[in-house]
């Protein structure tokens, strides 16, 4: 049987406000347990929540960026459930009237295809605290530092059809919130995580199958693995005559499996109702338009501009604009190199990205600045060094040995373009390899192209990579012809 996968994601994005959504406590990561939990966060009797306006503005920015509707009025609601890390006994969220309605993002798939994924809604809510099971000899501690941290939850339509599409969508949302600077998107710290709703159905079927929801996945790789695993599990059950139960599951990356956590609550189990402590959020169009003017150039627009202005391929442009810092670095390097866009793109996506990954470093902290990379590229362009030597110079720059010009100078890496010097090298190699020279001269023209590579290699080696390869080629051809 042919099965079709259906996926909808709920992405939780922690907003980068300095204080919490309903209290003045700080949101900074990594503080001592409960050092950032004030009376509101620990739910002392008589306290009242006060909305953080920056959280509202952040949600609106997101909504505008995905072309959503921003309703004139949205309402906070209480979502009631009991859990040790939720001292109020309810979470303040939004239910019937969220701040962002609809909207869409375009995703780019590995083959180059694009697809639109519609967003159902995005609502503001507070995060819960966290249970700490370690170091209490049988007891569980509660850390409420995270309680009240502002989140937007972005709910997609069930429009993704593979784990790959789900990852592309999640990456696109990640790119967007980072462009908008409404979240640091730090996945290790839990600032960006998702719940994946997964079901399968027989191809051609229009009704959706029963879904399982895999909770709190905080890496792109785990999302992909968790979905693929869950799809296999469901197909296996269905093909053996079983039934899927609607439930919440947990993904365990160590075992690459999902496990049941609990059967899924229906919305009415939460007994949602409007929070009487908070006024509805009323917005007028002028406020919304003022926020619109603060939006930066968004990733899709930047991607198209790089294609138009710099002649980049679709793939290169998409890669470079997926991260705003990388895009900025690229533009600075192009400018400083006098427009060498293709070379800049290659070096950034190649050596620079590899080195950043190797050292687990962010581009904003690259030891090679955009200006330094541009200088290196100019030295390739003006034939001071070959591409191979440039890699050596890059390594040295990465290691903090200075800029390209000084490294080329001190290491004596200048390309040899002096014809006399190259001629001497070529003559030596020809003299030392009489057997290969005979073979070359006996070979028909169409075979010589391949054979000449051996001589070029020898000359380059002898010059320690510094001979100009074009000149070596020309001279060899001439001399080997006899
Ligand atoms: P809840 O709030 O209970 O998690 P929602 O109805 O808001 O439920 O849906 C949550 C997510 O699940 C949405 O992203 C939606 O697209 C997705 N979803 C709903 N039904 C299915 C299904 N049958 N298969 C896969 N995803 C689904
Ligand atoms: Mg859900």
| 455-475 mean pLDDT | 88
**Nearest partner of 219 among 262, 259, 273, 163, judged by Cα:** 163
| DSSP SS3 for 173 | helix
At 138 the pLDDT is 82
Average pLDDT, integer, range 374-389:
92
Q: Which atom of ligand 1 is nearest to the CA of 197?
A: 26
Looking at 92-148, list the stretches that DSSP marks H as alpha helix, in order from N- to C-terminal side.
Answer: none
* CA separation for the pair 290, 72 (Å, rounded): 15
pTM greater than 0.95 (yes/no):
no
- Asked if residue 245 has pLDDT above 90, the reply is yes
Planar angle of CA 243, 249, 250, nearest 5 degrees: 150
Report helix angle 469-480 to 434-442, nearest 10: 70
Q: Is 382 helix (H, G, I), strand (E, B) or coil?
A: coil
Helix-helix angle 299-310:163-179, to 10 degrees: 90
For 473, list phi and psi in degrees, rounded to 5. Answer: -55, -50
User: Which of 54, 52, 39, 129 has its CA nearest to residue 84?
Assistant: 129
Q: For residues 224 and 272, what is the distance between their CA atoms, to the nearest angstrom? A: 32
Residues in contact with ligand 1 by the CB-under-6-Å rule are: 6-10, 155-158, 197-199, 208-209, 211, 213
Strand pairing of 141-143 and 281-282? Answer: unpaired
Contact 394, 351 (CB under 8 A): yes
Atom of ligand 1 nearest to the CA of 157: 16
| Ligand of minimum distance to the alpha carbon of 121 | 1
Distance CA 344, CA 333 (A): 6
Atom of ligand 1 nearest to the CA of 199: 24
C-alpha–C-alpha distance, residues 64 and 174, integer Å = 16
In the block, residue with structure tokens 């190797």: 358
Cα dihedral 183, 188, 194, 197, rounded to 10, equals 170
Rounded distance from Cα 117 to ligand 1 centre (Å): 14
CA of 195 to the centre of ligand 2 (A): 7
Residue 409 CA, ligand 2 centroid: distance in Å: 61
Query: Cα of 189 to ligand 2 centre, how many Å?
Result: 21
**Distance (Å, whole) CA 401 – CA 225:** 42
Give the gyration radius of the chain's Cα atoms. 30
161 alpha carbon, closest ligand:
1
Residue 318 has pLDDT above 90, yes or no: yes
The yes-or-no verdict on residue 239 having pLDDT over 70 is yes
Would you state the pLDDT for residue 44? 96
Residue 158 CA to ligand 1 centre (angstroms): 7
Please check the confidence at residue 139 and state whether its pLDDT lies above 90: no
Which numbered ligand comes closest to the C-alpha of 94? 1
At 19, the pLDDT band (50, 70, 90 cuts) reads: very high
Specify the residue with its C-alpha closest to ligand 1, atom 24: 199
Average pLDDT score, the chain: 94
The model's pLDDT over 258-314, given as tens digits with 9 standing for 90+, comes to: 898 877 666 678 999 999 999 999 999 999 999 999 999 999 999 999 999 999 999
Cα torsion through 213, 215, 220, 222, rounded to 10 = -90
- Determine contact, residues 204/226, Cβ cutoff 8 Å: no
Cα four-point dihedral sign 112, 114, 117, 122: positive
Closest ligand 1 atom to residue 264 Cα is 3
Q: What sign results for the dihedral spanned by CA atoms 458, 482, 476, 473? A: negative
Which ligand 1 atom is at minimum distance from the Cα of 9? 14
The pLDDT, as a whole number, for residue 70 is 98
pLDDT of 393 over the 80 cut: yes
Number of Cβ atoms within 10 Å of the Cβ of 462? 16
Name the closest ligand to CA 269.
Answer: 1
CA-wise closest residue to 299 among 276, 315, 318, 279: 318
State the angle between helix axes of 324-336 and 314-321 in degrees (0 to 180), rounded to the nearest 10.
120
pLDDT tens-digit profile of 74-93? 999 999 999 999 999 999 99
Ligand 1 centroid vs 256 CA: distance in angstroms?
23
Task: Summarize the confidence of residues 205-233 as an average pLDDT.
Answer: 96
pLDDT of residue 448: 86
pLDDT, position 465: 85
DSSP per position, 337-406: TTS-HHHHHHHIIIIIHHHHHHTT--GGG-SS-HHHHHHHHHHHHTTSS-HHHHHHHHHHHHTT---HHH
Cβ atoms of 153 and 122 closer than 8 Å: yes
CA of 349 from ligand 2 middle (Å) equals 37
Angle between helices 53-65 and 285-292 (to 10 degrees): 70
For ligand 1, atom 13: residue with the closest CA: 8
Q: What spacing in Å lies between the alpha carbon of 454 and ligand 2's midpoint?
A: 63
Nearest bound ligand to the CA of residue 231: 1
CB 5 within 8 A of CB 200: yes
- Is the pLDDT assigned to residue 397 strictly greater than 80? yes
Q: Best substitution site from 123, 158, 231 to test ligand 1's pocket, by max atoms within 8 Å of Cβ?
A: 158
Pocket test for ligand 1, best of 98, 155, 262 (most atoms within 8 A of CB): 155
Alpha helices in 180-219 (DSSP H): none
Residue nearest to atom 5 of ligand 1 (CA): 155
Closest ligand 1 atom, residue 208 Cα: 23
Predicted confidence (pLDDT) per residue in 141-169, tens digit: 999 999 999 999 999 999 999 999 999 99
Beta bridge partners of 123: 153
What's the token pair of residue 353? Answer: 């990205």
Whether 104 shows a pLDDT value over 90: the answer reads yes
Report the alpha-carbon distance of residue 129 to residue 105 in Å, rounded: 31
CA of 130 to the centre of ligand 1 (A): 25
pLDDT the model gives residue 263: 72
């Amino acid at each position: 049987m042919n099965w079709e996968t259906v996926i909808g994601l709920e992405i939780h994005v922690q907003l980068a406000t300095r204080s919490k959504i309903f209290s003045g406590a700080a949101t900074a990561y990594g503080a001592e347990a409960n050092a950032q939990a004030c009376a509101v966060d620990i739910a002392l009797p008589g306290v009242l929540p006060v909305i953080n306006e920056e959280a509202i503005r952040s949600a609106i920015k997101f909504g505008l960026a995905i072309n959503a509707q921003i309703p004139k009025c949205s309402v906070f609601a209480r979502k009631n459930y009991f859990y040790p890390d939720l001292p109020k006994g309810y979470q303040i969220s939004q239910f019937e009237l969220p701040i962002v309605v609809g909207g869409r993002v375009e995703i780019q798939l590995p083959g180059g295809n694009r697809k639109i994924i519609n967003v159902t809604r995005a609502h503001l809510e507070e995060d819960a605290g966290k249970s700490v099971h370690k170091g209490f000899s049988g007891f569980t501690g509660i850390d409420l530092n995270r309680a009240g941290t502002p989140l937007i939850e972005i709910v997609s339509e069930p429009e993704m059809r593979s784990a790959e599409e789900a990852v592309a969508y999640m990456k696109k949302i990640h790119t967007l919130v980072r462009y908008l600077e409404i979240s640091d998107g730090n996945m290790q710290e839990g600032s960006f995580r998702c719940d994946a709703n997964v079901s399968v159905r027989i191809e051609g079927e229009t009704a959706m199958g029963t879904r399982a929801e895999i909770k709190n996945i905080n890496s792109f790789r785990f999302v992909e693995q968790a979905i693929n695993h869950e799809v296999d599990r469901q197909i296996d059950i269905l093909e053996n005559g079983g039934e899927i139960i609607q439930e919440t599951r947990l993904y365990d990356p160590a075992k690459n499996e999902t496990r049941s956590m609990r059967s899924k609550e229906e919305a009415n189990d939460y007994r949602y109702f409007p929070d009487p402590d908070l006024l509805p959020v009323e917005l007028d169009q002028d406020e919304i338009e003022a926020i619109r003017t603060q939006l930066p150039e968004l990733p899709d627009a930047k991607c198209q501009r790089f294609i138009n202005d710099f002649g980049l391929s679709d793939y290169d442009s998409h890669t470079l604009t997926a991260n705003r810092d990388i895009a900025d670095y690229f533009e600075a390097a192009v400018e400083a190199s006098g427009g060498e866009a293709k070379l800049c793109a290659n070096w950034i996506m190649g050596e620079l990205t590899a080195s950043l990954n190797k050292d687990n470093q962010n581009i904003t902290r690259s030891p090679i600045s955009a200006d330094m990379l541009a200088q290196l590229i100019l030295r390739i362009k003006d034939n001071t060094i070959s591409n191979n030597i440039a890699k050596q110079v890059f390594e040295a720059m990465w290691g903090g040995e200075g800029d390209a010009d000084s490294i080329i100078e001190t290491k004596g890496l200048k390309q040899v373009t002096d014809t006399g010097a190259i001629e001497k090298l070529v003559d030596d190699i020809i003299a030392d390899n009489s057997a290969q020279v005979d073979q070359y001269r006996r070979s028909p023209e169409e075979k010589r192209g391949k054979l000449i590579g051996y001589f070029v290699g020898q000359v380059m080696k002898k010059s320690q990579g510094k001979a100009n390869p074009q000149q070596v080629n020309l001279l060899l051809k001439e001399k080997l012809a006899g």
